[in-house]
């Protein structure tokens, strides 16, 4: 009986540490998602080679 009570009290004492770890994990996931969104939102200009190929094909026709 005393062991059970001690175990329950010990687990309750761990809850704040678990919350802290959970918050850190969520923060890391948020940072990764934000970086992914930043990369996905970047507009990449077309390569110069692609433009010249299209122009040369148009002039051939």
22-42: per-residue pLDDT in tens?
999 999 888 888 777 766 666
Q: pTM here? A: 0.48
What does the alpha-carbon distance between residue 32 and residue 58 come to, in Å, rounded to a whole number? Answer: 43
Residue 57 scores a pLDDT above 70: no
The mean predicted confidence, pLDDT, of the chain is 78
């Amino acid at each position: 009986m005393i062991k059970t009570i001690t175990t329950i009290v010990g687990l309750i004492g761990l809850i704040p540490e678990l919350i802290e770890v959970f918050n850190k994990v969520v923060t890391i996931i948020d940072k990764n998602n934000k970086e992914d969104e930043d990369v996905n939102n970047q507009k990449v200009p077309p390569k110069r080679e692609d433009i010249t190929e299209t122009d040369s094909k148009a002039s051939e026709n």
